Structure 1
Amino acid sequence: AARNQRAYGVHFGTSSYEIYYNTYSVSNVLESHSLPANVTFSTVALPNPGNDEVLFDKLTGKTFNSGTIILSHNGEFYRIVINPYGIVSVST
């Protein structure tokens, strides 16, 4: 994740997410996406309380803020796990 010599990350809202570079701020947001109707991030379980973003190292893709995000949709739950190496897996 080193395009333009920058680190990139994802900031999670309740029903949206944003792609940003370097550090999260409105001026560094590259893309904003709303989730479809009835889909929400019901849980964002990352190591630092109140921190709802994952920044990936620009050379290795690793992250210090690995954790679990739960998407919910009409009573179904999808678990997204981001490990310290920046690998993302999804399960139901």
Structure 2
Amino acid sequence: MTSATVMELAYQGMKVTLLLATPLLLAALLVGLIVSLFQAATQINEMTLSFIPKILAVFAVLVIAGPWMLGVIQDFTRQLFASIPGLIG
């Protein structure tokens, strides 16, 4: 197992992590921006107002994109397990 192999595995792991986290983070970002605009327009200065909409948005994205996310992590895991014999010898 060379250092290039380790770096390739780390790169693939970070790529999968980024793919899985992006939809959830984008949903939280967009909902936070919308709530912030609403707070600025109505001059409501409550810091905890954005938590519930963000949680609901992340949950909705998780329900919608969950099967795709599960497929991505399953493919990565299968590929990783299939490559174990090649990594050892």
TM-score, normalised with respect to structure 1 = 0.20
Of structures 1 and 2, the one scoring higher in RCO (CA 8 A, sep 6+) is 2
TM-score, normalised with respect to structure 2 = 0.20
Name whichever structure is richer in strand by fraction: 1
State which structure, 1 or 2, has the greater radius of gyration over its C-alpha atoms.
Answer: 2
